[in-house]
Amino acid sequence: MSRRDKHSVAIVPLFLSLVLDGTFAFDHVAASASLKTLSLANTTVLSSTNLPEPVAVQTRGACDQWGWVSDPICRVQVNIRTSATPSVYAEAWLPDTWYGRIVGLGNGGVGGYMYPLLCLPHSLALPRSPPTTGDIYTGQYFLNNPDVIKDFSYSATHLQTVIGKQLVQAYYGRPHDKSYFLGCSTGGRQGTQAAFKCPEDFDGIVAGAPGTDWNHLLGWWGGMECEFGAPKTPGSSVSYILRELWDVVEAEVLNQCDALDGAKDGIITEPDDCNFRPEVLFCSSTKTEKCLSQSQVNALKKAYAPLAGDSNGITGIIEGSTLEWYLNTVFNNTSYNFSDFGLPHIALADMINPGDAAMFSGDFSAFKNCGGKFVTYHRDQATLSARTTSSNLSTLDTFYRLFLVPGMQHCNSGPGSWAFGQSQGLNVVNASTRNVLGGRGLGREGGSA
C-alpha cells in the first residue's frame, strides 16, 4: 500500500489544470473557502484563509507572536483530537505554486512551536503542516497526562501528517508526489520516531541532531548544571562560572585543540582528539583576572568527563527542558527542587521512559523497505543519534546517511559551514545541489540517500 492511499481522503471538487512548470491554475480564494467545511476524522478546521500577498500573521505559542508569509498561500489551521483529553493544533501552509511535494516540521525543546521554520519550505513551494504540542519550554501539559506525553513523543507528528495529506488532496484536487520531514533536536528525534513507528508517513526524513537518547540527554544536562552550582541562584556557588568567563574558557579550548586537525581556523574538527586541560586557567598570585578558581576548574573537568559512578552531575540553575521534563513526566512532582539530583533519577527516567520518548532500540527495516531515505547531521559528533539499528553498516548507504558538521552549534550557527537549508530560512534555494531537502541528501527523489 502506498503512502498516498493508506488513509481515506475527503476530496473537494476543484476545477484546475496542471501547467508544464508544475504549478496549478485555479481559484485559490474559492479553494481556500471550501476547506472550512471539510470533514476530517477527529479534526476541526478552525480557519482557512487565502493570503495572496506577503504579510505578517499572528501565531500561537510562546516562541514568536508573528510569522512572515513571503509568497501567496492558503493558511489552514486545524485542531486534531488525539484521545479523550488532549488535542493537537496544527497548520498547513499551501502555496499557490506547488510542485507536488509536502513537508512536515519538527519541534524544539519540550514543546511545539516552530514558526521560524515555516518560511523555509515555503520558499521551496512545499506545503507543510507543523505539529504544535505545547509551549516551547513549558512541560505543564505533561503533568499526569500520559496521552499528551505520547503526542509529544511521536503521535502528534503522525496525526498531523495524516491530516496534512488530506488537506493537500482536498485543496489541490490530487495527492502529493513526495512527502518529507524536516526537524532538528527534538525535531530530529521526532523524525527518527516517524521512521521507526510510522514508516509509511514520509518518503524522506531530515533529522538533525536527533535527541533520541532523550532521558540521558536531559539528565546529563541537569547533572552538569548541578556541578556548576544548581539549583542555587546563579553566582551563589563557588563553582559557578560567570558568562564572561566562558569566553575565556572557549579561547583556551581553541588554543589547546584548534590546530590538532592541521588547520588553525577556529574549528575543532575532531573533538575526541582534544584532551582539554582546564587547570591552565587557575588563578594565582600573578594572575587574578580572566582565570578560574579551583572549584570552577573542578566543575569544568567534570563537565568534560562522563556522567558516571556516584556523581551528581552551566547555568548554575536547573532550567529549560531538563526541568520541565523531569518535573512533569518522570517525577510528576512540580515541587521537587533538584537538590539531590543525580544518576538514580536518570535511572528512574530510563525505567519509566515517558511516552517512549527515548529510543533504546530502533529498526529502520520497514522504512527502508518502503523506499524511504534518511539523512541526519550533527555538530562534530553524532552523540545523540539513534543507538541501534537493525541494518548493518554495509546496507546503510542506500537509505541512511550521517553528516558531521565541524564548527556548527546545536542545529545551526557557529563558525563552520553550517547553512544548508535546514533552519531559520537561511540558504533557502530551490536547487538540488544547495539545499538538504532537494539535494543529494535525499537522493534527488530517487536512488541512494
Contacts of residue 301, defined as CB under 8 A and 6 or more positions apart, other chains included, come to 278
Distances (CA, A) of 205 to 376, 397, 425: 8, 15, 18
**Catalytic site residue 216?**
no
Q: Is the peptide bond before 54 cis (omega within 30 degrees of 0)?
A: no
Q: Is 266 helix (H, G, I), strand (E, B) or coil?
A: coil
User: What is the rounded CA–CA span in Å between residue 358 and residue 362?
Assistant: 10
Does residue 318 contact residue 341 with C-beta atoms inside 8 Å? yes
- Parallel, antiparallel, or unpaired: how do β-strands 43-51 and 373-378 relate? unpaired
Residues with Cβ within 8 Å of residue 424, at least 6 apart in sequence: 116, 117, 120, 412
Cα–Cα distance for residue pair 238/294, rounded to 1 Å = 9
Could you tell me the three cell numbers for 130? 507543523
For residue 221 the three cell numbers come to 544536562
Which residue from 204, 187, 216 is spatially nearest to 359, judged by alpha carbons? Answer: 216
Give the orientation angle of helix 214-227 with respect to helix 343-352, to 10 degrees.
160
Q: Give the Cα separation of 155 and 136 in Å (integer).
A: 17
Among candidate residues 48, 87, 155, 185, the one labeled active-site is: 185
**Is 87 a known active-site residue?**
no
Catalytic residue among 71, 410, 413, 432: 410
Looking at 239, 380, 385, 423, which residue is catalytic?
A: 380
Q: Is 397 an annotated catalytic residue? A: no
Per-residue cell: 226: 548541578
Half-sphere exposure of 264 (CA within 13 A, CB side): 6
Alpha carbon distance 173, 170 (integer Å): 5
- The catalytic site residues sit at 185, 380, 410
